[in-house]
Amino acid sequence: MQSHSWTHTRQPPPQLRRTGSSRRHLPNALSIGRILITPIFGVTLIQAGDGHSWRAGALFGAAALTDQIDGWLARRWRAESRLGALVDPLADKLIIGTAMVVLMHAGRIPEVAFALVLLRQGVLWGARAYSRGRYGFPVSRMARASAWVLYASLWLIIITPPGTRWPLGLFWVGIALALAEVWPYTQVLRRHSRRPSDTVPGAADLVDQGGQLRDRRDAAWTRV
């Protein structure tokens, strides 16, 4: 009688190989799901009128949970990918930005907070554009902390009735952490700006060639 089990020298059944392959796509699927849920969340919160909605809070809370789960799964299963690095932060910006815009129009959060977030994002995008991919900006713990605090504070604002002030304190902590995230970017730019040969491809070769030309010119004048 043949056994249906396999040893270490045999390949696992096709269904198990498919399971292992498909689960690598789960973190990206959660991030994409967060993007797809954003317009539904936005419409639900707008229909509330005053920025207070348990249904919108449930959608926003689910999005916040998927933000934690997809990153954890990607690291645990070693399923990090370029698509995930693009989709995950995009999903966060879309749903957090949607929540802030609707809550601002409902009078639940101050307009200056949204302006500060836009300023911060503009600085980060400008830093990446200036670097032109010559050097990377690693994701810091402060960036993760700011996202967590903003998710928690905005969720608390959504599920509490208008006039509740205490969630705003946590919200401003999240804004402060988001602004502090700019500091590592400026340090990277400052460090590389002091070493042009490291940031401009071929700059070191040009410097060497310039020095050799000067040496040859001086030697020629000496012979004359």
Provide the CATH number for the domain around residue 81.
1.20.120.1760
User: Within a 10 A sphere around the Cβ of 47, how many other Cβ atoms?
Assistant: 10
Q: Does residue 140 belong to any structural domain of this protein?
A: yes
Contact 147, 67 (CB under 8 A): yes
Contact 96, 151 (CB under 8 A): yes
Cα–Cα dist 167/94, whole Å: 21
Cα–Cα dist 149/119, whole Å: 19
Query: How many domains does the chain contain in total?
Result: 1
Domain of 180 in residue numbering reads as: 20-193
What is the percentage of the chain residues whose pLDDT exceeds 90?
40
Task: Give mean pLDDT, residues 139-146.
Answer: 79
Max mean pLDDT range (8-12, 166-170, 212-216): 166-170
Of 3-17, 131-145, 162-176, where does mean pLDDT reach its minimum? 3-17
Q: Does residue 33 belong to any structural domain of this protein?
A: yes
* pLDDT greater at residue 40 or residue 87: 40
Q: Does residue 77 belong to any structural domain of this protein?
A: yes
Q: Does residue 217 belong to any structural domain of this protein?
A: no
Cα–Cα dist 118/125, whole Å: 10
Q: Does residue 220 belong to any structural domain of this protein?
A: no
pLDDT of residue 138: 62
Which residue in this structure is represented by tokens 């830093």? 127
Q: Does residue 12 belong to any structural domain of this protein?
A: no
Q: Does residue 223 belong to any structural domain of this protein?
A: no
Q: Does residue 94 belong to any structural domain of this protein?
A: yes
In angstroms, what CA-CA distances link 184 with 79, 116, 139, 175, 219?
A: 26, 17, 10, 16, 47
Structure tokens of 32? 């994409």
| pLDDT above 80: residue 32 | yes
Cα–Cα dist 204/213, whole Å: 14
Q: What is the pTM of this model?
A: 0.72
